[in-house]
């Protein structure tokens, strides 16, 4: 870990397994192995441990990195933040854990939460203000992939219903509509969580919800865990699965590197955006070159 941090800049986001698989605020874990089952307590401890090993700071926000105050309370830094990387690139890190509504079937007729009101307002405002050629949104949960939490409930925002947005989908629909309304160009979503790699193109021409501009989502992972999938897709935002690769057989694949994945982005001098998906042995399994809209 020290060698990695010494050589590679790291922009850290947290995962559900910092706390418990598929957790959400307010959850009480039904598992006899736990002496503490209040997930809010576990999430606070998990976030502290994670942030002590993955230090983060946001110089544009009035938040400080985690410290202990005189009362012994841990003050966490804000996870969602903007990372400027020069005139070609701004990275917008999301926090899709802290503000989640409970995992349900996701078919509520009203908007439930995956980001929360404050983060939604921040994301729309900061992406719309960005002067960078490429606006990369680093999301810890995918948009169109169905990620089940048990037989009925959903972990992400896709809800197995390919029609008009419902539940958490309504929140993301508002974000995508605002980007279109504000004429934001060259937005790319990068995500993980699922145990395979994929490239998805979203377009209103294929979608039940049409008030947005087309965009790409690249999925990469896991770099070390077992690989399995792919998961089915939800049609609300019109995804096309351009590429996908997972383990060689159902269940967890051998961790030999051939079916573990990471993503790589190369920005060209001509402002091209080349996204490649690679296995842990370094082989490129997919590549897509994007050219910026002006």
pLDDT of residue 189: 98
Burial class of residue 32, CB neighbours in 10 A (0-12, 13-18, 19+): exposed
pLDDT (tens digit per residue) in 254-282: 888 999 999 999 999 999 999 999 999 99
Indicate whether 42 belongs to any domain: no
Give me the CATH number covering residue 279: 3.60.21.70
Q: Place 77 in a pLDDT band, splitting at 50, 70 and 90.
A: confident
Q: Which domain holds residue 201?
A: 73-290
- With a cut of 70, say whether residue 61 has pLDDT above it: no
pLDDT of residue 64: 46
Indicate whether 203 belongs to any domain: yes
- With a cut of 60, say whether residue 70 has pLDDT above it: no
Indicate whether 13 belongs to any domain: no
- Give CA–CA dist 82/60, Å, rounded: 8
pLDDT of residue 249: 77
Indicate whether 30 belongs to any domain: no
Indicate whether 141 belongs to any domain: yes
- Give CA–CA dist 250/262, Å, rounded: 21
- For all residues of the chain together, what is the average pLDDT? 92
Question: What Rg, from alpha-carbon coordinates, does the chain have?
Answer: 19
| Contact (Cβ atoms closer than 8 angstroms) between residue 141 and residue 187 | no
The mean per-residue pLDDT over the stretch 87-91 comes to 98
pTM score of the predicted model: 0.93
**Residue 255 Cα distances to 17, 40, 231, 258, angstroms:** 19, 33, 20, 8
- With a cut of 60, say whether residue 74 has pLDDT above it: no
Indicate whether 244 belongs to any domain: yes
Q: Place 60 in a pLDDT band, splitting at 50, 70 and 90.
A: very low
Helix axes 168-181, 117-129, angle to 10 degrees: 20
| Contact (Cβ atoms closer than 8 angstroms) between residue 139 and residue 80 | no
- What's phi and psi for 38, nearest 5 deg? -75, 110
pLDDT of residue 73: 57
- Give CA–CA dist 226/278, Å, rounded: 15
- As a whole-number percent, the residues of the chain with pLDDT over 90 amount to 81
Domain total of the chain: 1
Here the tokens at position 269 are 């001098």
- Give CA–CA dist 27/39, Å, rounded: 5
pLDDT (tens digit per residue) in 206-260: 999 999 999 999 999 888 889 999 999 999 999 999 999 998 777 788 888 999 9
Here the tokens at position 56 are 């983060």
pLDDT of residue 13: 93
pLDDT of residue 203: 98
Indicate whether 137 belongs to any domain: yes
Per the document, the length of the chain is 294
Indicate whether 33 belongs to any domain: no
pLDDT (tens digit per residue) in 13-53: 999 999 999 999 999 999 999 999 999 999 999 998 898 88
């Amino acid at each position: 870990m020290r060698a990695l941090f010494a050589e590679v800049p790291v922009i850290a986001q947290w995962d559900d397994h910092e706390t418990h698989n598929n957790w959400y605020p307010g959850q009480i874990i039904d598992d006899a192995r736990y002496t503490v089952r209040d997930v809010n307590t576990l999430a606070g401890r998990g976030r502290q441990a994670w942030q002590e090993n993955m230090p983060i700071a946001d110089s544009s926000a009035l938040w400080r990195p985690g410290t202990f105050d005189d009362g012994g309370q841990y003050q966490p830094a804000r996870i969602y933040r903007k990372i400027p990387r020069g005139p070609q690139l701004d990275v917008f890190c999301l926090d899709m854990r802290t503000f989640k509504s409970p995992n349900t079937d996701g078919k509520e007729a009203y908007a439930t939460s995956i980001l929360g009101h404050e983060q939604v307002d921040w994301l729309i405002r900061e992406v719309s203000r960005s002067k960078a050629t490429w606006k990369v949104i680093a999301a810890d949960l995918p948009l169109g992939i169905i990620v089940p939490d048990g037989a009925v409930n959903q972990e992400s925002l896709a809800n197995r219903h390919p029609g008009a947005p419902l539940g958490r989908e309504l929140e993301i629909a508002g974000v995508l509509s605002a980007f279109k309304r504000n004429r934001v160009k060259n937005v790319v979503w990068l995500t993980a969580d699922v145990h395979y790699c994929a490239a998805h193109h979203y377009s209103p021409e294929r979608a039940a919800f049409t008030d947005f501009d087309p965009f790409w989502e690249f999925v990469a992972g896991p770099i070390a865990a077992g690989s399995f999938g792919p998961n089915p897709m939800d049609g609300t935002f019109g995804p096309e699965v351009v590429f996908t690769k997972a383990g060689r057989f159902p269940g967890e694949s051998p961790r030999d590197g051939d079916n573990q994945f990471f993503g790589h982005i190369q920005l060209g001098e001509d402002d091209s955006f080349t996204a490649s998906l690679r296995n842990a042995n370094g082989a490129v399994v997919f590549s897509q070159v994007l050219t910026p809209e002006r």
